[in-house]
Amino acid sequence: MPWVLVLPAVLGLAFLVLPLAGLLIRAPWSTLGTRLGEPQVLEALRLSLVTSTLATALCLVLGVPLAWVLARTGFPGRGLVRALVTVPLVLPPVVGGVALLLVLGRRGIVGRWLESAFGVSLPFTTAGVVLAEAFVAMPFLVISVEGALRGADPRYEEAAATLGASRWTIFRRVTLPMVAPGIAAGAILCWARALGEFGATITFAGNFPGRTQTMPLAVYLALETDPEAAIVLSLVLLTVSVVILAALRDRWVSTP
């Protein structure tokens, strides 16, 4: 193995893993058990898992078709649309949260109409958490699915078309199965990003235990008064996500 690659690789890994080691070293192991059993912790963890899963589902429903449009159709301004898709990646999440408030809030352009027509108000609700997480996480899904679509051989789709299949049938029976690993990888990235989401969530959905207080929010507030509790909460979040990610990756994403 060439050391010019191995050395930076080892440094890179250390850079990513050492902060985690820092958490492990400072964790209050003796009181870990009692802290983990606290109902607020379980409540925040449950809410985090539910909302990030729902956010991922929402991203799949909207993001896969968006990726398909970007990869398979030619229309003027496609480059601009692709750039716009990545806006939530660049935007500081708190700013994303304010932007969501300005659109979907009580006085927002869409939110005002939602409230008067359906009596639906999104800020300060669990649905609001899902939306905030989906907003921030969707680009991860769209970018990986679009990459997978571009890497897939279009001749299979063309062959299906010559045999008389409609575009929807081709998408369902040929395209989707072909890019399934890419979709799974994108969904996993998207889920992980949603799980860690903080800024947009606290800005758009606020913070209330059991309703909108996800794990990252609980960590942030614990840090104000009780840094040890914050470390415990972070470890819980990390453990759960690492276990789930490791399990899913092996099952869904076959590495060639």
Partner 1 sequence: MVRHLTAVLAAITLALGAAGCGDTGGDDPADRTLTVFAAASLTETFTELGKTFEKAHPGVRVRFSFGGSSTLAQQIVQGAPVDVFAAASPATMRPVSDERLTADAPRTFARNRLVIAVPPGDPAKIRTLRDLAGRELKVVLCAPQVPCGAAAEKALDVAGVKVTPVSQEQDVKAVLTKVRLGEADAGLVYRTDVRAAGGQVEGVEFPESAEAINDYPIAALAKAPQPGLAGEFVDLVLSAQGRAVLTRAGFESA
Q: Please report how close the Cβ of residue 19 comes to partner 1 at its closest, in angstroms.
A: 14
Nearer to partner 1, 63 or 88 (CB): 88
Nearer to partner 1, 57 or 98 (CB): 98
Q: How far apart are CA 215 and CA 127, in angstroms?
A: 16
Q: How far apart are CA 170 and CA 227, in angstroms?
A: 54
Q: Please report how close the Cβ of residue 136 comes to partner 1 at its closest, in angstroms.
A: 15
3-state secondary structure 104-131: HCCCCHHHHHHHHHHCCCCCCCHHHHHH
- Please select the residue that binds partner 1; options are 27, 223, 235, 240, rule is CB under 8 A: 223
Distances 190 to 58, 155, 194, 210, 248 between C-alpha atoms, Å: 11, 29, 6, 23, 13
| Contact call for residue 105 and partner 1 (CB under 8 A) | yes
For the beta carbon of residue 124, count every other beta carbon within 10 angstroms: 17
Distances 230 to 32, 34, 38, 154, 168 between C-alpha atoms, Å: 11, 14, 13, 49, 48
Of 70-78, 153-161, 173-181, 217-225, which segment contacts partner 1 by CB under 8 A?
217-225
Question: What x-and-dash track marks residues 117-136 binding partner 1 by CB under 8 A?
Answer: ------xx------------
Q: Please report how close the Cβ of residue 62 comes to partner 1 at its closest, in angstroms.
A: 25
Of 10-18, 72-80, 137-145, 197-205, which segment contacts partner 1 by CB under 8 A?
197-205
List residues near partner 1 by CB under 8 A. 92, 94-95, 97-98, 101-102, 105-107, 123-124, 199, 202-203, 205-209, 212-213, 217, 220-225, 227
